[in-house]
C-alpha cells in the first residue's frame, strides 16, 4: 500500500549528459548496436556509444538533411541538400556508395527489411540462389597499381572493396531504402543500391471523400516531411505539407492557392507490390548490383592499365627522342627509323646512330627501357587475365540470367526488364569479351616486337663496342623492320585503351582480324563495326547500355 510518505520514483531519469561543440539537429539509434549517430548544425556526423565514447567523426562537405540506419546496423544512409544519398560504413564512417536519386534536398529516409521469409506455393521457404559461383571463381577485386621501376604505390587498398562484403550480408533478407525530397518525390532502392521506382505525390489522385469516390484532389507545392514503410512492405505512410486542391480545377487556379486546403497531410500508399514481387525484385537487384561492382572492376582496370602503359611509353620516348636531336645536329635529312633500318640492312653506322647507341643509350639504358616496357606489357596481361576478363565473363553470365527475367513485363505489367534493351546490353557484354581477345593478341604481339627490337639493339651495341655478343638472345630481322615501320612512333596499345570520339579502323594483323571475326560469328552478334572501336569505347558502350536498361526498370512512374 502506497502512502504519501513513500519515495516517489521518477518515470524518466537522466543517465548521461554530454556537451558537444555544435548544436545537434538529427539523431538516430543504431537498431542492432549501442550506437548513436548524430548530425550537428555544421554538418558533421558523430558516432557515439551509449556511454558517450566517440568512435568517429566525418564531414561530407555538404549540408546534411536526413539520416537513417540500415536494418542490420552495418551501414548509415545520409541524405544531403543536393539530392545525393551516401552510404557509410559503421566501422569507420568510410563512404561506401553514393546515389543521386533526387535533384533537391533529401528530407526523409526510411530503411525497412522484410520481416517474413518468402515461401512458394508448397509453403516451402523459397530463397534466391545465385548460380554464378557454380561456374566461376570468386569475383575479381579492383586491381592494384604496382610501381613500374620500384616500390608499390597501391592504387586501391583491399579495404576499398569492403562494400562488396558488407552488402552481401543484406542479401539474406529483402530490404528497401525509401527517400523523400522537398519537391514531393519518393524514391525506392533495394539494398540502398539498386533504384527500382520513383513516384511524386503531386501526380497522385487523392480521394476527396469516401462517399464520392470519383472525385479526387491533387497536391500543389507539397513537400515531403516523413516517409515510413511498414514492416511487411505493403503500406507506406507519407507526411507532407502543402496545398490540396480539387483535381478538376484549372491549373492556373490551383497555382494561386485560393481554393486549396493548406496544412499538414498524411497519406497511406499501397506498396503491396513490394511484397508480391519481392522474389523477382530480389533477383534483379542482386544481379544488377553485382554487375555494377564488376563494371567498377573493369573501369579501375582501365585506369591502372592506362597509367602503367603511359609511364612505360614515357620512359621509352624519353630515351629514344634524343636520336632525333642527334640527327638534326648532324644535319642529316632522315628519320630515326630510316637510320636504324640502314643499320639493320648492313650499311655503315651513321655518326648520330653510333653516338646514340654507344653514348646516349648504352647497354644499361637498353636493358632498363626493355625491363620497363616489357614489364608493363606483362603487367597489363596479368590485369586483363586476373581482373578485366573474368569481370567481363561474369557480366556476360549474369546478363544471361537477367535475360530470362525480361519476360516479367508481359506477366506483371508494372515491373520487369525491357526485352529489347536487355538484348542490346547482352550483345554489348559479349562484344566486350571479343574486344578483350583482340586486345590480348595485339598486346602480345607488341610486347614481342619490343623485346625483339631491344635484343637487336643490345647486339648492335656489343658489336660497336667490339665486345662478345654470343650470350645475348637472338632476334628476328623481319620483326625489327615491322617494329620500325609500324610501332616505333605509334602506340596501338594506348589507342585501344583510350576511347576514340571518331570510329576508325585500327590496324591489326590478319590472324587477329580473322580470330575476332570467328568469335563474332560464333557468338551470333549482329554488330559489324567492332573493328572500328577501341576496347575502351566498347566498354563505354556496354556501360551505357546497362545504365539504360536499369534506368527503365521502375515499379511506378
Cα–Cα dist 536/492, whole Å: 13
Question: Are 405 and 529 part of one and the same domain?
Answer: yes
Which of 276, 299, 316 is the last residue before a domain boundary? 276
- Compare 304 and 274 and report the one with higher pLDDT: 304
User: Which residues make Cβ contacts (< 8 Å) with residue 493, sequence separation at least 6?
Assistant: 309, 377, 380, 442, 443, 446
% pLDDT > 90, the chain = 37
How confident is the model at residue 348, as a pLDDT? Answer: 81
The SS3 assignment for 342 reads helix
Task: Name the grid cell of 452.
Answer: 625483339
Task: Tell me what the mean pLDDT of segment 348-357 comes to.
Answer: 89
Residue 1 has pLDDT above 70, yes or no: no
With cut-offs at 50, 70 and 90, classify the pLDDT of residue 149: very low
Residues 6+ apart with CB under 8 A from 68: 28, 76, 77, 109, 110, 111, 177
Closest CA to 233 of 169, 172, 173, 176: 176
User: Who wins on pLDDT, 7 or 307?
Assistant: 307
For residue 210, what pLDDT band results from cuts at 50, 70 and 90? very low
Instruction: Give the model's confidence band at 171: pLDDT under 50 very low, under 70 low, under 90 confident, else very high.
Output: low
| Range scoring the smallest mean pLDDT among 10-24, 377-391, 431-445 | 10-24
Tell me the pTM. Answer: 0.76
Examine the pLDDT at 83 and tell me if it is beyond 80. Answer: yes
Q: Provide the number of structural domains found in the chain.
A: 3
Residue 160 has a pLDDT of 46
- Listed range (45-49, 509-513, 521-525, 553-557) with the worst mean pLDDT: 553-557
Q: Give the whole-angstrom CA distance, residue 536 versus residue 170.
A: 33
Mean pLDDT of all residues belonging to the chain: 82
Res 304: pLDDT: 94
The pLDDT tens digits of the residues spanning 510-538 come to: 777 787 778 887 777 777 777 778 889 88
Looking at 168-177, 375-384, 466-475, which range is the least confident one?
A: 168-177
Q: How far apart (Å, rounded) are the C-alpha atoms in residues 312 and 494?
A: 11
Tell whether 396 and 446 lie within a shared domain. yes
Domain interval for residue 166: 132-276
Residue 308 shares a structural domain with residue 455: yes
**Model confidence at 6, in pLDDT bands (50, 70, 90)?**
low
Domain assignment of residue 125, yes or no: no
Q: Is 14 inside any structural domain?
A: no
CA distances from 130 to 202, 295, 507 (A): 39, 18, 41
Question: Residue 550 class from Cβ within 10 Å (0-12 exposed, 13-18 middle, 19+ buried)?
Answer: buried
pLDDT of residue 75: 92
- Across 76-90, 104-118, 136-150, 214-228, the highest mean pLDDT is recorded for 76-90
Q: Is residue 6 part of a domain?
A: no
Choose between 256 and 222: higher pLDDT: 222
Please give the residue that has the higher pLDDT: either 280 or 227: 227
pLDDT score for 256:
46
Q: Which of 82, 99, 116 is the last residue of a domain?
A: 99
250/304 same-domain check? no
d(CA 201, CA 219): 7
**314 shares its domain with 454:** yes
Residue 16 covered by a domain: no
pLDDT value, residue 408: 61
Q: Identify whether residues 368 and 497 lie together within a single domain.
A: yes
Q: Does residue 229 or residue 19 have the better pLDDT?
A: 229
What are phi and psi for residue 287, nearest 5 degrees? -65, -45
Task: Mark whether 417 and 541 lie in a shared domain.
Answer: yes
The CA R_g of the chain, rounded to the nearest whole Å, is: 32
Question: What is the pLDDT, as a whole number, of residue 219?
Answer: 83
Residues 383 and 453 in one domain: yes
Would you state the pLDDT for residue 163?
46
How many Å apart are CA 433 and CA 441, to the nearest integer?
13
Lowest mean pLDDT of 22-26, 66-70, 516-520, name the range: 516-520
- Partners of 200 in the β-ladder: 185
Write a three-state SS string for 200-233: EHHHCCEECCCCCCCCEEEEEEEEEEEEEECCCC
- The CATH number of the domain holding residue 89 is 2.40.10.480
Q: Which residue stretches of 234-335 are H helix? A: 251-256, 272-276, 278-329
Q: Note the Cα 343 to chain centre separation in Å.
A: 50
Same domain, 165 and 139: yes
Q: Are residues 403 and 429 in the same domain?
A: yes
Please tell me whether residues 303 and 426 are part of one structural domain.
yes
Alpha-carbon torsion, ordered 237, 241, 247, 250, to 10 deg: -160
Task: Residue 525: name the closest of 538, 507, 508 by CA.
Answer: 538
Terminal CA-CA length for the chain: 64
- Domain end point (choices 48, 77, 99): 99
Residues 34 and 177 in one domain: no
What are the backbone angles phi and psi of residue 402, rounded to the nearest 5°?
A: -70, -30
Amino acid at each position: 500500500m502506497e502512502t504519501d510518505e513513500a519515495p516517489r520514483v521518477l518515470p524518466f531519469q537522466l543517465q548521461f549528459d554530454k556537451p558537444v561543440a555544435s548544436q545537434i539537429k538529427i539523431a538516430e539509434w543504431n537498431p542492432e548496436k549501442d550506437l548513436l549517430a548524430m548530425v550537428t548544425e555544421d554538418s558533421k556526423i558523430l558516432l557515439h556509444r551509449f556511454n558517450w565514447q566517440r568512435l568517429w567523426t566525418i564531414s561530407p562537405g555538404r549540408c546534411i538533411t536526413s539520416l537513417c540506419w540500415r536494418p542490420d546496423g552495418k551501414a548509415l544512409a545520409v541524405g544531403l541538400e543536393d539530392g545525393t544519398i551516401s552510404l557509410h560504413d559503421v566501422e569507420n564512417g568510410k563512404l561506401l556508395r553514393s546515389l543521386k536519386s533526387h535533384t533537391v534536398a533529401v528530407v526523409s529516409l526510411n530503411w525497412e527489411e522484410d520481416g517474413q521469409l518468402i515461401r512458394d506455393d508448397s509453403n516451402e521457404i523459397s530463397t534466391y540462389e545465385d548460380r554464378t559461383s557454380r561456374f566461376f571463381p570468386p569475383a575479381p577485386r579492383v586491381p592494384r597499381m604496382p610501381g613500374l621501376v620500384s616500390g608499390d604505390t597501391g592504387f586501391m587498398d583491399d579495404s576499398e572493396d569492403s562494400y562488396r562484403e558488407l552488402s552481401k550480408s543484406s542479401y539474406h533478407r529483402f530490404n528497401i531504402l525509401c527517400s523523400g525530397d522537398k519537391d514531393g518525390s519518393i524514391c525506392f532502392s533495394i539494398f540502398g543500391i539498386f533504384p527500382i521506382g520513383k513516384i511524386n505525390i503531386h501526380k497522385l489522385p487523392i480521394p476527396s471523400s469516401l462517399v464520392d469516390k470519383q472525385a479526387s484532389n491533387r497536391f500543389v507545392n507539397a513537400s515531403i516531411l516523413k516517409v515510413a514503410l511498414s514492416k511487411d512492405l505493403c503500406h507506406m505512410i507519407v507526411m507532407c505539407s502543402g496545398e490540396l486542391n480539387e483535381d478538376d480545377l484549372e491549373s492556373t487556379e490551383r497555382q494561386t492557392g485560393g481554393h486549396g486546403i493548406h496544412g499538414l497531410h498524411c497519406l497511406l500508399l499501397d506498396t503491396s507490390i513490394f511484397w508480391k514481387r519481392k522474389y523477382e525484385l530480389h533477383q534483379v537487384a542482386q544481379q544488377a548490383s553485382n554487375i555494377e561492382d564488376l563494371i567498377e572492376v573493369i573501369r579501375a582496370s582501365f585506369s591502372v592499365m592506362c597509367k602503367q602503359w603511359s609511364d612505360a611509353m614515357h620512359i621509352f620516348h624519353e630515351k629514344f627522342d634524343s636520336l632525333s636531336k642527334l640527327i638534326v645536329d648532324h644535319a642529316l635529312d632522315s628519320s630515326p627509323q630510316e637510320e636504324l633500318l640502314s643499320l639493320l640492312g648492313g650499311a655503315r653506322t651513321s655518326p648520330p646512330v653510333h653516338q646514340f647507341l654507344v653514348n646516349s643509350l648504352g647497354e644499361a639504358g637498353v636493358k632498363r627501357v626493355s625491363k620497363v616496357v616489357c614489364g608493363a606489357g606483362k603487367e597489363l596481361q596479368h590485369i586483363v587475365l586476373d581482373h578485366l576478363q573474368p569481370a567481363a565473363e561474369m557480366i556476360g553470365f549474369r546478363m544471361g540470367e537477367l535475360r530470362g527475367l525480361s519476360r516479367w513485363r508481359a506477366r506483371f505489367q508494372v515491373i520487369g526488364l525491357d526485352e529489347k534493351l536487355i538484348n542490346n546490353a547482352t550483345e554489348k557484354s559479349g562484344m566486350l569479351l571479343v574486344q578483350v581477345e583482340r586486345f590480348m593478341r595485339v598486346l602480345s604481339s607488341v610486347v614481342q616486337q619490343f623485346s625483339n627490337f631491344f635484343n637487336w639493339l643490345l647486339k648492335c651495341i656489343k658489336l660497336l663496342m667490339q665486345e662478345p655478343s654470343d650470350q645475348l638472345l637472338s632476334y628476328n630481322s623481319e620483326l625489327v623492320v615491322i617494329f620500325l615501320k609500324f610501332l616505333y612512333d605509334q602506340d596501338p596499345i594506348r589507342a585501344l585503351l583510350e576511347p576514340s570520339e571518331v570510329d576508325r579502323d585500327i590496324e591489326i594483323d590478319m590472324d587477329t582480324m580473322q580470330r575476332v571475326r570467328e568469335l563474332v560469328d560464333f557468338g551470333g552478334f549482329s554488330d559489324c563495326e567492332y573493328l572500328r572501336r577501341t576496347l575502351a569505347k566498347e566498354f563505354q558502350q556496354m556501360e551505357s547500355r546497362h545504365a539504360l536498361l536499369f534506368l527503365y526498370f521502375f515499379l511506378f512512374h
